[in-house]
Structure 1
């Protein structure tokens, strides 16, 4: 057996946090291996990159998810007891809930609600000299997804629930005070939604028929029992939070539109003309090129060998999402933004993994990819055809030490006008 290359240094946690998107690929490249070992948070961790490693990582007979995510992320981003930490039949049963709730007709209904919010927000944005696009998207997405999901949200609650949902993905890996805020936000959201679902089951609150909230309240796991209210709340948040987090992809798409002006005309023609192939290619290239999640975690299920390396039961493993999406073995000119690459080829299940790899019904690939793509397409249509705005002088460089990575000034727009 070959020895898995070890990243130099006693602990690499600070190096990883300083450059979370490029850490794994850089070290794998330097050590000429698809897998390296690094000590992260004082624990030896397997770090994988590339399509072959991704295919290995999603082999459920070799890797499991239970207990893999670090506790700070389970206490903020994911929640405890949710679908991300399940394996086997339990995972497939819970995942079926999400695939049913996020069926195409349900996604279309969510898109219509978000479009209504775009129209509502434009009037407010037009009154402001400058609008930070990323932050401005949060309340509109919160209102839209809560309405779509059947979660009652009074106007006076919008600001609070928006801050809490955003804190789950925007502050989870921040400095101690930000992380604490994320933990407190998770606790508040779970309490709010657990009470709502318990009241609905008791018949004291009526949830809209066919809504996501009703589906979560009525869902039964493989043991035939409904979810405990707190776990049900975690899963309902797993529908609300990712939709609000699409604000990251929308902001990145707007950034790409500004930084790659040669794409504007073919993108506009595609969206207006009904041939959506270029628009879809543009959205996919945004998801490939821009950093969103840096990595996903799993544990080695049992001892096995791969590529001459031995892996031991219980070892923690990270799969590099960003580096795999930029792997030159899969992508020509991988660091260039080129939407047309998606016109020439259909992406694979293991080389294009912005929201996880493999097949979404049975594996841990995100069931919300369709939502992200549809809302990005909608937002690009609004930006190109239904409003006019300018991008004033600002720092448009991406902060790669931030999770999620965004333009440093949040992408300011000015001179907003609605087009009739």
Structure 2
């Protein structure tokens, strides 16, 4: 074999989907370590799959000349987490056009509104909260209100718990099999039906909503050919705005876990040695959120001696890249100060995916996520009095997403 070509290390066996469910966030890292290679081959869902980890590998993965996303995600993920027809599954001009719509919602005024809503809703919930509070369950209610109000989706206050109950399975159970997966699909179907009905009413002039709201603009968005989105696709995209905001509840739970586990770092904030922004960025790096991103090879090519064949499913390890010792010093230590002089790139810190914001596949809501987490952390540190009861919050790395279930006691 030519020195310019080498075989991708290959895991033997018929299929390793069960191992993926068992190993969770460590699935790709385990194979990278086993084969001492940042690119490895396995089999998932009955087909060949290439797994990668690292900064250079992320830059390759987000090269739209080499990989595509359309129909790349497994159908079970499309029918739970992402929805069919949404921006995550588009490529080319239609992706750029649709992504531009999402980025138009990330203005400074819009992000300021999210910050104000986040603080307001935490104040509301703690004005009537019991003494003992489950952070994750409370955060889901808070962020459901934030999401619906910010997006401008019409709703009644008595419906909030039902909205939260239906939104949660979309990200809590997307990776499950059996009854939980079925529940996730049913929740998505009901939500899409509700939102599709609202889109139709708006277009028929039966709803009066703020015309600057994301709900209005998605409903009236025209594709690159000048046509209104199919009402179902519009509903999918509205869910792609509100679902991720509610999912920040996972990060909120981890933020309070970090406060509980690392009081010395909280003191660093209070002493002015680090900023709250550094703390929440380290939460996003250190704790698990998205395990990996999925794409398919657009055409045959060779990279670093490895041959990639057309249409091969390819997974980029997000969690592993955020714990890559070639990028991060002492990656398994919780050290917010690392972000004081962090050299940002689109590929070295990818908790919610990588690439460029405007024309790539990087999550449009990443700035919003950071703002929600920062405002929440500052509210808990400076606006309320609480203590942690005796507890042992744990999470499993094979749960996607993992939820530690932190509890607090409010002080009078």
Mapping of residues 262-301 of structure 1, within 5 Å: 262-270=264-272, 278-301=275-298
> Residue by residue, what CA displacement relative to the aligned partner does 1:115-171 show, whole Å, maximum 9, x if unpaired?
11111100222x24x221101111111112111211111122111111111110011
Match of 2:275, SS? helix
Give the RMSD, CA atoms, in angstroms. 1.3
Offset of residue 269 of structure 1: 4.6
Task: Return the TM-score normalized by structure 1.
Answer: 0.95
Mapping of residues 170-189 of structure 1, within 5 Å: 170-189=172-191
CA distance in 2, matches of 1:395, 1:39: 37
Quote the residue 2:209 is aligned against. 207
CA distance in 1, matches of 2:261, 2:344: 24
Quote the residue 2:83 is aligned against. 79
Offset of residue 375 of structure 1: 0.6
Task: Find 1:411's aligned residue among 400, 406, 409.
Answer: 406
CA distance in 2, matches of 1:11, 1:77: 23
Offset of residue 176 of structure 1: 1.3
Offset of residue 374 of structure 1: 0.4
Q: Segments of 4+ in structure 1 off by > 3 A?
A: none
> Residue by residue, what CA displacement relative to the aligned partner does 1:309-329 show, whole Å, maximum 9, x if unpaired?
111111000000000000011
Quote the residue 1:65 is aligned against. 69
When residues 206 and 269 of structure 1 are mapped into structure 2, their CA distance, relative to the original with a 3 A threshold, is farther
Task: Find 2:324's aligned residue among 327, 352, 356.
Answer: 327
Task: Find 2:226's aligned residue among 224, 227, 249.
Answer: 224
Q: Does residue 32 of structure 1 match 2:36?
A: yes
Quote the residue 2:11 is aligned against. 7
CA contact (8 A) 1:101 1:215 kept: no
Task: Find 1:191's aligned residue among 175, 193, 201.
Answer: 193
Quote the residue 2:168 is aligned against. 166
Q: What stretches of structure 1 of length at least 5 have no aligned partner?
A: none
Offset of residue 102 of structure 1: 1.9
CA distance in 1, matches of 2:60, 2:25: 20
Q: Does residue 365 of structure 1 match 2:367?
A: no
Quote the residue 2:241 is aligned against. 239
Q: Does residue 100 of structure 1 match 2:104?
A: yes
Q: What stretches of structure 2 of length at least 5 have no aligned partner?
A: none
Task: Return the TM-score normalized by structure 2.
Answer: 0.96
CA distance in 2, matches of 1:280, 1:156: 34
Match of 2:367, SS? helix
CA distance in 2, matches of 1:251, 1:347: 25
Match of 1:19, SS? helix
Question: Is the deviation greater in 20-29 or in 331-340?
Answer: 20-29
Count the aligned residue pairs.
408
CA contact (8 A) 2:389 2:408 kept: yes
CA contact (8 A) 1:300 1:314 kept: yes
CA contact (8 A) 1:143 1:153 kept: no
Q: Does residue 350 of structure 1 match 2:347?
A: yes
